[in-house]
C-alpha cells in the first residue's frame, strides 16, 4: 500500500488526524500534491460521495465555507465540482486537500457502515 493510500484511509478511519495528514501533504512537492488530490477524488468516487457527505465533510475540514473549494464541494453534480477543485491553482491545494479528504472520510465511513459491514475484504478498510 502506498504512503498516500495509507494516510488517506487512516484519516477516513479515524486512525490519523486531519492535521497530521495536512502536514504530510504540505511536505510534498506541488506535482505530488496534485496527484494526491486526484487520488482522493478517485477514492471519493469509489465511496459514492454525495453532496450531503460534502456538507458534513466541510464542517470537519476547518475550511471557511466562503473559500473556493468549500463553495464548490457543496454543489451538484459533486464529481464535476471535484474536477473543478483539483484544477484550482496551487495556492488552493491545502484547502482543497482538507475539503476533499474530509468529504471522502464521511463517504467512506458511510460505506463501511452500510455496504461493507461485517463482510468487508478491502485491505484499505482493515488498517487498524
Give residue-wise pLDDT tens across range 105-123: 999 999 888 876 666 665 5
Give the alpha-carbon dihedral of 17, 50, 70, 101, to 10 degrees.
Answer: 20
Q: What is the spatial distance between Cα 91 and Cα 77, in angstroms, rounded to a whole number?
A: 24
Q: In terms of pTM, does the model score above 0.85?
A: yes
pLDDT tens, position by position, for the chain (128 residues)?
Answer: 789 999 999 999 999 999 999 999 999 999 999 999 999 999 999 999 999 999 999 999 999 999 999 999 999 999 999 999 999 999 999 999 999 999 999 999 998 888 766 666 655 555 55
Amino acid at each position: 500500500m502506498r504512503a498516500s493510500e495509507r494516510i488517506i484511509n487512516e484519516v477516513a478511519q479515524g486512525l490519523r488526524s486531519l492535521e497530521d495528514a495536512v502536514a504530510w501533504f504540505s511536505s510534498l512537492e506541488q506535482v505530488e500534491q496534485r496527484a494526491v488530490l486526484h487520488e482522493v477524488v478517485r477514492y471519493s468516487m469509489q465511496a459514492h460521495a454525495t453532496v450531503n457527505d460534502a456538507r458534513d465533510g466541510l464542517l470537519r475540514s476547518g475550511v471557511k465555507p466562503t473559500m473556493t473549494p468549500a463553495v464548490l464541494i457543496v454543489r451538484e453534480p459533486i464529481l464535476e465540482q471535484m474536477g473543478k477543485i483539483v484544477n484550482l491553482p496551487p495556492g488552493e491545494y491545502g484547502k482543497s486537500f482538507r475539503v476533499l479528504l474530509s468529504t471522502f472520510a464521511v463517504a467512506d465511513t458511510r460505506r463501511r457502515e452500510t455496504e461493507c459491514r461485517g463482510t468487508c475484504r478491502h485491505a484499505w478498510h482493515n488498517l487498524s
